[in-house]
Structures are given as structure tokens and as C-alpha cells.
Chain A
């Protein structure tokens, strides 16, 4: 790659970083066509380069396609219609989740509601989800929590009080991983928890 070409790419990566990190609209993220307009038709390449830069920082460029099914080899048209975000590449520790403003109760409630909607083929009655949450959360908190998940964009609700997954769940949650993890046997859970604790201990000793 010539120095001039490298320079042009560096400028595009910088521009893409600004567009993706700073919120431009009410919702975060940038539409493909906006990136196309700002960076040119090679914007998927620019995003690949940016993704490489973000890897060591445990961040990634996440693409959320218009259709729920993810195309194997997306066309430029499909990418133009998709939405792009920068998300965490790995996962957070419970302590870190607290630092970004989530109480453990609220996060557990979100996990339950999302997995319940997924298990009901993407649509569940709000009343049923409330009943499920009500088993472990105080009644006054259940409705407030679901309203909060709707407000944040994790869920949406129609006039018939049916809940669906919304844009933020599609952008942030690995739905398959969530269900797999929930269904894993308790023994595996214990093992995983123990190994995580060991890892955390090792890290703290090293530091």
C-alpha cells in the first residue's frame, strides 16, 4: 500500500471512529449508508481496519443487519441497510457491571426477560414476563424494570402488551450464547464459576 493510500485510509479510520463513538442521533450507532456517504464504497474495509485497531482494547465493530438472519457474505446493499456500533468484545465482570450503573437485580431481571422472550419465539405477553420476574423481584419493581428495559431499547411493547426484542438487544446480546449458558448444567456452572474465581485470584496476585 502506498504512503498516500495509507494516509487516506488512516483519515477514513479516524472519521469512522468519530462517527461510531460519538452519538449522532437519538439512538447510538451509525447506518451503513451514512458511512458509505462519508467514507466511500470501501467503508467495509475501513471498518475492518478499525476493528483490528479496537481488538487490543477489547472493543469491536458490531454489525446489526436489518433482517434477523445474518447473511454469510453480506452485499454492499445489505451493509448499507445495516447499523454499526462499537461494543465490548469480551465480557464484563459483575463488579464492572455495577460501575456502569446496573444493579445486580436489574441485570438479572433483564437476563430473564430477554431469555424468556427468546424462548417464546420472540414474542411474549408482558403479564407472563412480569409473573416470572415477580418470583424473585418485589412486585413494585417488576413493572418499573420492564418499563426501563423498554426505555433503554432492549424490549419493545405493542398495544396488546406483547413484548418483543428491540434494537439494543440485537446489538448487545449474543442470544444463542445466553440461552446456551442458561441451559448449561449446574455442575458446569459451578466449574465455570470456580475457574473464573481462580483466574481472578491469579490476576490479582500478578498485579
Chain B
């Protein structure tokens, strides 16, 4: 291959890539059970893979090569399962069986089935002992009116309630939810500008507050900030880090596939954060 001219070598590589891609497509078809696994000539595939392997030097080319090998292994596994299934005594050709079934009448089919059917035997019977036990249970059972005794409820006159009372009982919040989100969004932008790096802030630094309850409440509201497109999360799984960055304008998420991101916010993680802050 070293002696090949660059243009010819490029063409050869392109041909090899096309062949591998076609092979991978076919093997994917086999894996999804749309193509018979025995339609593939394994020896021929191996020969092609071997032929072009010395040409690959780019990571994506090597990736293609390994993908082809990976799918080939899966197809061989499928072929082996196919052979195993057909070699078992229970394998029957569905077409042959359908043919036999349609030929037989109801009486014949029933007679055949009765030879292979051994129904379960069960008894249902009350005994004197079980009746005596049931009687004892009944005698010991507290009457319904005593078991489900109504709780005494004091009757009060009808009246009206104020917004302040509802806020106090946590039924209403003291500010409208959207206004609260707007306020939080502004706070996030200010905080990112003051403390953030590259327009983002560590998630724990953002949600954590002086108390755990407040922290949970901030995390709850933050989830809406992200859902409604006021901010976005950046997750780095290998380093186990999560960052939040605000948008200048609320972004429409309609075009993107919504993904739920569960984030653990335990009391311990909050305490750890707090100790780190105070130390």
C-alpha cells in the first residue's frame, strides 16, 4: 500500500469505507430481525475487513473497522442461537404446524390436546375446623361502627379567609410564581456575572442556602428555571460536576427533546457544601 499513489490510495480507502458501511447496515438489519442471519457470508466479510485494515490510520476509520467487527460478532451469536433453537426437540416449523392445524378438525385437535394435557387438581372445601376458626374470628371481630368510629368534628360557622391567612398556611405563596421565577433568574444572572466562570456556576453553589429547607426550595424553583428555558444545565458525568448557566432571554425548548435530569440533593451533601463554605 505504501507504494500506491496518494490519489489511488484515497480512492481505495473510500471504496473500503463504503463497503464497511454497507456491511454494517446489513448487519444492523440482521440484528433487528429484518434479514436472515445466514444471508451474510461471514468469511467474505472477514476477508474485506482484513483487506482494508492496513489502510486505516484515522481514528474514525479505525472506529468503523471496530464497529464492523462488533456487529459481525453479534451476527455470529444470532446464527448460533438460530442453530441452537432449531436443534432442540421443541423446534417446529411454524408453517408445517399451521398446515397440520388447518387440516385437523376440532374433534381431532381436542383428542390430541387431551393426550398432552394434565390439568391441575385442586379442592375447595370447608371443614368443621375451618368453620370453628371462622366462628371464633367472627366473635372476636369488633363491630364496624366501633372500628370506624367517626372523629368528632366541631361545627364552626362559615366565614371568609384573607390572602395573608392562606399564605400563612402555605396554600398560597406570597408572590406570584412567575414573578418569583423572574426574580430568581435575575439573581442567577447577577451571581454568574459576579462569581461565575465562562458564564456558568456550579449547581451546588447556586442552590445552596443557609438552611436545608431553603436549599430544597431553591432547587425546586431552579428546576422550573431550566424547564421554562431561563437557564440550562451542563453535566460533566466523568467529573461528577453540574453547572448552571442563565440565558439572556428565555429560550424556547419546543424544538428540543425534553430530558429529565435527576439531581440528588441530600441533607449530607448540603452540610458538606456548607462546611466547605465556612471552613
Contacts and interface: CB of A to CB of B under 8 A. Distances in A.
Given A120-B94, A179-B92, A186-B103, A107 B118 contact: no
Interface stretch (B121-129, B136-144, B198-206, B242-250): B121-129
Q: Main secondary structure on chain B at its contact with chain A?
A: helix
Contacts of B119: 87-88, 92, 100, 172
Given A86-B120, A108-B106, A119 B112 contact: no
Interface string A186-201: 1001000100100000
A165 to B, nearest CB: 11
A179 B97 contact: yes
A167 B110 CA distance: 21
Contact of A91 (B92, B98, B115, B121): B115
A178 interface: yes
Interface string B70-114: 000000000000000100011011101110111110111111111
Interface residues of A, number: 53
A172 to B, nearest CB: 5
Interface string A88-127: 1111111001001000110110111001101111000000
B117 interface: yes
A59 B111 CA distance: 20
Interface string A144-163: 00000000000000000000
A115 B94 CA distance: 9
B108 A91 contact: no
A192 B93 CA distance: 24
A126 to B, nearest CB: 15
Contacts of A116: 94, 97-98, 101
A171 interface: yes
Chain B: interface size category: 20 to 34
Interface in A20-65: 21-23, 28-29, 59-60, 62
A33 B93 CA distance: 39
Contacts of A105: 106
Contacts of A85: 120-121
Given A94-B107, A118-B90, A182 B112 contact: yes
Contacts of A118: 90, 92
B110 A23 contact: no
Given A86-B121, A92-B119, A107 B94 contact: no
Contacts of B98: 116, 119, 132
B113 A111 contact: yes
B90 to A, nearest CB: 6
A21 B114 contact: no
A159 B225 CA distance: 36
Interface of B: 85, 89-90, 92-94, 96-98, 100-104, 106-125
23 contacts: A21-B121, A22-B122, A62-B120, A85-B120, A88-B118, A88-B119, A88-B121, A89-B118, A91-B114, A92-B119, A94-B114, A97-B110, A104-B110, A108-B109, A111-B109, A115-B97, A116-B97, A118-B92, A178-B116, A179-B90, A182-B101, A183-B96, A183-B97
